[in-house]
Amino acid sequence: MSAPVPNPGILDIHAYVGGEAHAPGASRLIRLASNEGALGPSPKAIAAYKAVAEQIHRYPDGGSSALRAGLGRRFGLDAGRIVCGNGSDDVLQLLTRAYAGTGDEVLHSVHGFAIYPISARFAGATPVAAPECGLKTDVDAMLARVTPRTRVVFIANPNNPTGSYLDKAELRRLHAGLPENVLLVIDAAYAEYVDAADYTDGSDLVDEFSNVVMTRTFSKIFALGGLRLGWAYCPAAVADVLNRVRGPFNVASSAQAAGLAALEDTEFLERSRRHNAQWREWFVGQVRDLGLVVHPSVANFVLISFAEQPGDRADAEGARQLLKSRGILVRQMGSYGLPHCLRVTIGLEDEMRAVVAGLADWVAGK
Ligand SMILES: Cc1ncc(COP(=O)(O)O)c(C=O)c1O
């Protein structure tokens, strides 16, 4: 008897493994492995979430209208071209499956976000990884890998896990080098953390060109990862496609309500941004003082490189295990092709101090 067979490409997928969430035996858990906003969600978002409880027998608004209107107001965007999803992962998957299929190629940078090759394979397409230069997207290397089969190009800006970003000019240069039939997806999951003057989330390119989409999430600075809420800002034709293929009720009413409240709490957002900038700078300085290499980051995490010599994996893994023995969870980077690195999310002050103390003990004991 033959068993059902999944579509081509699916069994080539290495299932996404998220950041660890448990450290058996630890009395206190410090979770810095998933880039969740350090301060947690806005109290107004939690109140809005609770207020929905009495109505959960009702289907949600399938068009997420109030939330989209709020996003439009807040960011000065056309709400009619915003499509919300069950996390931005959902939107990224839908875009890939809508625009790429068997025989097509989906391009991303080699240390780009892990969902890009996964969604390419799910679509039956071939993921193509362009090399980076100094842990930063290399526009020329990306453009050199565009072929007649390329359908979708992903760029995380800033990128997870490297923390680097492409400035406005480089992003435009990447777009300018792409054929008009190739969809450029700018994944700006960490946009709110960036304060560099030469940064753009890409929404300006969406307004100008018919082949650019920007995606955003409520999982990072808004700290609503558990609710699963993301969105895309699209040209009208792409929004139309997403609205045809998305689930009719793909965003829970609780997520819509909490997302809107979080969006409107600008004071909390500003506090979260300032917290991140302050403790990222402090943490980077402390870790460099320990003699470790920390890569510049504009996001809410930093990538630390351990010695790139034989045995380097043991170095990063040794440091991670020492931290874990103290209940501190950081992200291993083997699946991103960076086994000699660890990624650390910027958390609360005492959490960052605990990481530095752990790394100092690890360096001293080596
Ligand atoms: C670059 C990037 N894009 C998208 C996501 C997915 O976010 P979510 O599906 O929670 O919206 C993440 C999460 O880690 C990310 O780092």
Domain boundary among 221, 238, 265: 265
Mean pLDDT of the chain, nearest integer? 96
Q: Probe ligand 1: pick from 32, 217, 343, max atoms within 8 Å of CB?
A: 217
One domain, residues 295 and 225: no
Distance 327 CA to ligand 1 centre (A): 24
Is residue 105 located within the same domain as residue 166? yes
User: Can you give the residue range of the structural domain that contains 310?
Assistant: 10-31+267-363
Distance 182 CA to ligand 1 centre (A): 22
CA 95 to centroid of ligand 1, rounded, Å: 14
Last residue of a domain, one of 219, 245, 265: 265
Of 219, 272, 253, nearest to 91 (Cα)?
A: 219
Pocket residue to mutate for ligand 1, from 96, 160, 193, 229, most atoms within 8 A of Cβ: 160
**CA dihedral over 275, 34, 217, 115, signed as positive or negative:** positive
CATH of the domain at 18: 3.90.1150.10
Mean pLDDT of 219-243: 98
pLDDT at residue number 25:
84
Answer whether residue 366 shows pLDDT above 80.
Answer: no
Q: Which atom of ligand 1 is nearest to the CA of 113?
A: 1
Domain presence at residue 2: no
Mean pLDDT of 212-221: 98
Residues 168 and 297 both lie in one domain: no
Q: Report the pLDDT value the prediction gives residue 312, as an integer from 0 to 100.
A: 52
Q: Is residue 136 part of a domain?
A: yes
Residue 25's alpha-carbon distances to 28, 80, 323, in angstroms, are 9, 50, 13
How does residue 24 score in pLDDT terms, banded at 50, 70 and 90? confident
Residue 105, ligand 1, Cβ within 6 A? no
**Pair (171, 300) in one structural domain:** no
Whether residue 232 is found in the same domain as residue 297: no
Q: Is the CB of 156 under 6 A from ligand 1?
A: yes
**Pick from 206, 237, 265: which residue ends a domain?**
265
Do the strands 341-345 and 331-332 form a parallel or antiparallel pair, or are they unpaired?
antiparallel
For residues 55 and 153, state if they share a domain: yes
Q: What is the pLDDT of residue 308?
A: 63
Whether 37 maps to a domain, the answer reads: no
Does residue 201's CB lie within 6 angstroms of at least one atom of ligand 1?
Answer: no
Residue tagged 């291993």 (tokens): 332
Mean pLDDT of 98-104: 97
One-letter amino acid of 265 = D
Same domain flag for 171 and 243: yes
Whose Cα sits closest to atom 2 in ligand 1?
A: 189
* Residue 68: per-residue pLDDT: 98
State in Å: Cα 89 to ligand 1 middle. Answer: 6
- Binning pLDDT at 50, 70 and 90, where does residue 26 land? confident
197 located within any domain? yes
pLDDT at 365 > cutoff 90: no
Residue range 320-341: mean pLDDT, rounded: 94
Same domain, 255 and 184: yes
Interval 272-324: pLDDT, tens? 999 999 999 999 999 999 999 999 999 999 999 997 655 555 689 999 999 99
Residue 159 CA: nearest ligand 1 atom is 1
Rounded Cα distance between 2 and 347, Å, is 51
Over range 52-65, report the average pLDDT.
Answer: 97
d(CA 226, CA 159): 22
CA 88 to ligand 1 center in whole angstroms: 6
CA–CA dist 67, 261 (Å, integer) = 9
Whether 20 has a pLDDT exceeding 90, the answer reads no
Q: Are residues 60 and 176 in the same domain?
A: yes
Q: What is the pLDDT of residue 276?
A: 98
Give the pLDDT confidence score for residue 309 in this predicted structure.
58
Q: Which atom of ligand 1 is nearest to the CA of 92?
A: 4
Is residue 171 one of the residues assigned to a domain? yes
Per-residue pLDDT, 21: 86
pLDDT band per the 50, 70, 90 thresholds, residue 18: confident
Residue 4 lies in a domain: no
| Pairing label, strands 105-109, 126-130 | parallel
Q: What is the pLDDT of residue 136?
A: 95
CA nearest neighbour of 30 among 362, 364, 358: 358
89 lines ligand 1 (CB under 6 A): yes
Same domain for 159 and 214, yes or no, is yes
Cβ 332 under 6 angstroms from ligand 1: no
Q: What is the average per-residue pLDDT within 316-335?
A: 95
From start to end of the chain, where are the E strands? 30-31, 82-85, 105-109, 126-130, 150-156, 183-187, 212-217, 230-233, 293-294, 301-305, 328-329, 331-332, 341-345
pLDDT at 190: 98
Across 159-187, average pLDDT: 98
Q: Domain tally for the chain?
A: 2
Share of the chain above pLDDT 90, in %: 91
Is the same domain home to 209 and 297? no
CATH number for the domain harbouring residue 170: 3.40.640.10
Beta carbon of 88 within 6 Å of any ligand 1 atom: yes
103-111 mean pLDDT: 97
Token output for 77: 């965007």
In a domain, 36, yes or no: no
CA distance readout (Å), 236 to 88, 150, 171, 210, 233? 19, 22, 21, 8, 9
Nearest CA-CA partner of 135 in 108, 161, 116, 153: 161
Give residue 36's pLDDT: 97
Task: Evaluate whether residue 38 is within a structural domain.
Answer: no
- Same domain as 186, residue 55: yes
Q: What 3-state DSSP class applies to 137?
A: strand
Is residue 301 in contact with ligand 1, taking CB distance under 6 Å? no
pLDDT digit string, tens, across residues 168-179: 999 999 999 999
Distance of CA 317 to the CA centre of its chain: 23
At residue 289, the pLDDT reads: 96
